[in-house]
Every structure is written in structure tokens, then in C-alpha cells.
Amino acid sequence: MNKNRIKLQGQLKKYMSWPIILTSLLVVMNIAVYFASRKAGAIVTMFVAIYIAVVALLYYHNRPLVLNELISFAVQYGQVQKNLMREFLIPYALLDAQGRFMWTNDKFTELTGKDKRYRKSVTTIFPELTIEKLPKGDNVTEIHTVYNERNYRCSLKQIPIRELFQSTELLESEVEDDSTLYTLYVFDETEINEYIRKYEDEIMVTGLLYLDNYEEAMESVEDVRRSLLGALLDRKINQYFANVDGRVKKLEEDKYFLVMRRKSLETLKESRFSLLEEIKTVNIGNQMAVTISMGIGVNAPTYAKDAEYSRVAIELALGRGGDQVVVRDGEKISYYGGKSQAVEKNTRVKARVKAQALREFMSNSDKVVVMGHKMTDVDSFGAAIGIYRAAKTLNKKTHIVIDSITTSIRPLIENFLHNQDYEDDMFVSCSDAEDIVNENTMVVVVDVNKPSYTECESLLYMTKTVVVLDHHRQGSEAIRNAVLSYIEPYASSACEMVAEILQYFVDGVRLRNIEADSIYAGIMVDTDNFLQKTGVRTFEAAAFLRRCGADVTRVRKMFRENMKDYQARGETIRNAELFRNYFAISVCPSAGLQSPTIVGAQAANELLNIVGVKASFVLTDYKNKIYISARAIDEVNVQIVMERLGGGGHLNIAGAQMEGKSVDEVKRILKDLLAEMMDGGEI
């Protein structure tokens, strides 16, 4: 007998079984009649036998006819369904297990222009629908694609052939086949996508615009021209945003509120906010060019939250030194501009206010723990020593967290180790600090504002009182739980900021000679012997330290180099290559050096002395990481370059770290990034 035989099933099978069921009832009735009368029972038996014979004859004779009628109906019904699918208004197709076309309806043929006998792979029409993306099980795969300049959404579903037979309610097949088909629906989303784009273009965007150095610029121009300068700035700003259908409302002399559409913002992004450079051309005799900062919030759930985004963005722009635009799009933050040096503020009001706030927080704490960044350098160490002295002035138990002593700070730290004037636990490791810190401990972070870069990140979440003192520009990653944050990108070093704070901390604060030497050394190293990022306040801080007993000769002796470091720096400079005629790139050897990253940074400084070099990048392979030291003078913002690689820093002093890559890979990535940014006009 054929294995793939056809049977009745479902309600039809039950219906065809009723004659047999009724026959059973008649037999029972016949038996009951015999108990009443044998003669009557015999007569009934004769009629029951005739009934059974007729029923059997009709059942077995008509069963094939019924099946033929059912099959005929199914064929006609299938033809109707096939016609309906062929005339279906949505493009539809059947694919085999390899993704080849088996059948297409009229709309699909009209869409693709392919013949109904087209049997090639679906990837020949929609390249995105590869065999790897075909759905498995009950999953539905949806893929967006473009065909003939229109947008489509392709929906695919798997249909096992076995289920096709199991789904019928009339017939049953015992086909043993695990083959698979795929249905493909194609939905035209061109118009709805167009409406979505129009909606997104019309979304309201708010922003804040601040004039970075308004007061300084006004002071540099004659009194009679100040009102004219202000009017020209207003006109330039209003005209710029009016060209993109935006509106500007002046809040204060140097602050503006912006409103525009999302489409207008995209236009400004394409021009990379040309107002940043245009505003600098406003000059009526002012010796200082005016710069601006903008913070813009996008894609917030409410207008109030959007305004909050713009406020956070403008604070970030100012914290990074100004002359730039920060756009916060949900959780994504983008930066534009930032090519000019941060303007030094002549007033020390902010330093005095921060010093008083620091004293208040410190007075209310039981203990003070100070830490800098990983691989502590001279600036980080000197700033920590300054905070240590401030805390000891208030008679607070103080510790400095240093996990490993680098060669750069060894000459300084040896002055404090085994010194009877300082406690044995003045310097502690990260694990010891975790045992010391509690909720009433004050943690002061110096020379870094990224949590992941701190010497011991876990300390930030073990106390309620965290203070940040740093001179690096802020990035997207920041210490969020700080009760006091003093970040000044225009400062030459963290030691300069701490020296200013000490002058306002308490009356008559006294630094010991070795403490003054440490803070002075931090300023000297970070300014490359007062050649970079120096301002009036830098020299004032150095003068204060000099009065406290800092000795220039003593500091210089401490920082003399050993022969291996000197030779490694020379080797780095000798092997430097010039990329795109402006960028010096080299690799610093690390074998035999205790602090190769320091040597790399020194070599990067030296490479700037080459004629024509606008920026230098030195790569150092140390402890399974590639450290990049980036330096520039004034024409290139190396901070935005390093931020693309996950680092940060200043406009002319920055760095980054990369794991899991070789030196050659990082060098290639760096070159590709520099080429991309140069071609895009970002640097």
C-alpha cells in the first residue's frame, strides 16, 4: 500500500462515521426486541441486516466519489487562493531553502521587472537578503533595503513543508519531508520614511550661546567703540541663525538662547558651525578676538529635558576651554571646533571661591585621601602634595594614593619617605586606601577628571564627598558625583591651580621647602620649563612657590636624566617620520626603561622643534598597552585627535591608550585618522 496515502480527518471523518454508529444502535435495539417477542425480533433482524448491507454498499461505493469531490474542491479552492495571492496588492514571493525564487505574484513581478519564471537567488535583486539572514524557526526576519531609489522593508518567514499538510482540516498526509520554504513580503516604506524625516527635521532644538571672553575683549577696545562692538556681535550672531530659520534671544550681555529646527542643526553641522571662525573676524580695534561657545540639546523626551541637555552641553563646552560647540544628542555627545587656546582669566575670584568651598568640605570630613591619575607624574604628585599640606593645616589625617612609583616622581617622593616630619602612612596603595575610605572621608582627585584614569576608581563610589581639581579639558566621561569641581583648561598645570588655592585657603599657610619644590616641579614639567601654556597667573604661582622656599637649582638637579633614557629619546627622534608634511610620528623603545611613557612624552616635545612640524605623536608599547603622547604648538588641536582614539587632554598636550593592538596597527589607525580629519577640515 502506498505510504503517502490520503485519509479523511477532522469533522468530515466524524460525519462519515455516523452510519456505522447508527448501525450499532439498531443492533442493540434488535436485541432488546428479542426479549419482548422472538417473532418481532426476527422481523427486526431482517430489516437491520438489509440496512447494514445498504449502508456498507453506499459507504464503500461512495467513499472514492466523496474523496474525488473533496480533492476537486481543494483544487478549485487552491486555484482561488492562488489567484488571490497572484492579485495580492503586496509584493509576495516563495523561496526555496537556498533562497531561490519558486513563485512570485504579479505585484512582485511589477516591482522587480523579472519574469515569473525567474529562478535565481533573491540576492540578485536584494543583495542584503543573504542565505545567512534567512529566518530559523518561528522567527520573522525584517531587513530594510533600497531598490530603484525606493526604500523597502523585506519580511521573511520560514514555513516547513510538513506544516502545510498538518494545517489542513480535511486531508491528512504521511509525507516524511523536512524541506523548508520561505515567504517574502516586500513593503514600500519610501513615503512613510519621508514623513518620518520631515517630522524629525521639524523637531525643535534648543541651545545656549556664550561669548567666552566678552569682558576681556571689551576692555581691549576704546570706551566709545564698546557699544559698536556689542552691536556687531549681536548682528553677526542673529544673521547667522536667521539664515537657517533659527531665532536668537539675548539673555545677558554675553549669553544667548537659541531655538531652531533639527534640519537647521544638520545644516550647521555640515558647515561645522562656521560661526566659530566668523565671530573672530569682528574687529573694530579690539586687541583680542572674540570667541564663542555653544551647547545644544537634541532628542530629549521633553522640552524641559532638552533645555537641560543644552545646559549640560554648554558647561561641557566651557569646561573644555570654550571656542567650540557641544551637541548632546540623547546620550551621544559631539564636539565641533576647539581650535584656539583657552583664554586666561585675569581675575582670581573663582580660585578664591573654590578655595573657601574646599576648606568647608575639608573641615566637615574626618579624613582626606588624595589621588591623581594612573602612573603618577610630577604634576599629579605636586598637586597632591599641595592638597596634603592644605589638609594638614586643618589638622586632618591625610593620605596620598600611589600604587606604583615611576622614575619621574622617584626623586621627589624620596624626600618624603623615611622623613621624620611625615607619617609612615602618608603614601598608601589602592588596596590600603579602600580600607581607609568611608562615608565621612573626603576624596580629592587632582590632575585628572576621567574616573577610569584615576589611580583608584573604586574610591569615588565609597564616599559622599568627592572633589575634582584639574586643568585638562573635559570629555564625555567625567566624575559625576563630585560635590566640588574646579576645572580650568587655561591653567598650565594642576600644580598652578593648587598653588593659587593655597594662597586663599587659610591665612599664613606655610609650605615646607620640599613641598614647594614638588609643586614648582609640576609647573615646570607641564610647561616644558615655562615654554608652553604659560600665562600671568603661571608666573605668579611660581613666584609664590619661590617665596615659600622652592629652589630652581635643586629642582633641576632632581630631574637630570640617566643615560638610557637620554639615548632612548634620541633614538625616538632619529626614527621619526613626517606624515602629510606636518605631523611627526615616531615609536619610543621601552626595553630597559623604567618609565618609557615619560621618555615618549619628552621626545614628543622635542619633535616640535623641527621646522614645519605642527604636531608630534610618539607611540610607546608598555605593559601590553600602546601609549600615545601627542603635542602641538598652536596650529593643531591634538586633544580632538586623541579623543577620537579614546583619550583626551589639552589643545596642545594630549594622549591616549589603546589595548589589544600592535604598534604598527595603532600607527596605521593614527595616520588614517589624521588623513580623515585633514581632508574633512577638522584640523
Domain limits of the chain? 6-86, 92-196, 209-337, 349-558, 563-679
Same fold, 209-337 and 349-558: no
Q: Are strands 180-188 and 150-160 parallel, antiparallel or unpaired?
A: antiparallel
The residue behind cell 633614557 is 565
Task: Give domain 209-337's CATH architecture.
Answer: 2-Layer Sandwich (3.30)
Measured between alpha carbons, how far is 452 from 647 in angstroms, rounded to an integer?
A: 11
What is the per-residue pLDDT for 170?
A: 46
At 170, give phi and psi (nearest 5°).
-110, -40
What is the per-residue pLDDT for 171?
A: 44
What is the per-residue pLDDT for 342?
A: 53
Is domain 349-558 given the CATH code 1.10.8.60 in the classification? no
CA-closest candidate to residue 314, choices 325, 323, 300: 325
**Which residues of the chain are under the pLDDT cut of 70?**
1-16, 62-85, 161-179, 338-348, 475-476
SS3 assignment, position 550:
coil
What is the per-residue pLDDT for 175?
A: 43
What is the per-residue pLDDT for 601?
A: 87
pLDDT digits (tens, 9 = 90+) for 566-583: 888 899 999 899 998 889
SS (H, E, C) 622-659: ECCEEEEEEEECCCCCHHHHHHHCCCEECCCEEEEEEE
Fold of 563-679: Diaminopimelate Epimerase; Chain A, domain 1 (3.10.310)
For the domain covering 92-196, report its CATH number.
Answer: 3.30.450.20
Encoded amino acid at 638, one letter: V
pLDDT digits (tens, 9 = 90+) for 376-403: 888 999 999 999 999 999 999 999 999 8
CA-closest candidate to residue 325, choices 305, 303, 297, 290: 297
Measured between alpha carbons, how far is 629 from 537 in angstroms, rounded to an integer?
A: 26
Task: Copy the grid coordinates of residue 436.
Answer: 581607609
589: alpha, beta or left, given left = phi > 0 and alpha = psi -120 to 50? beta
State which H helix or E strand residue 602 sits in.
helix 596-607
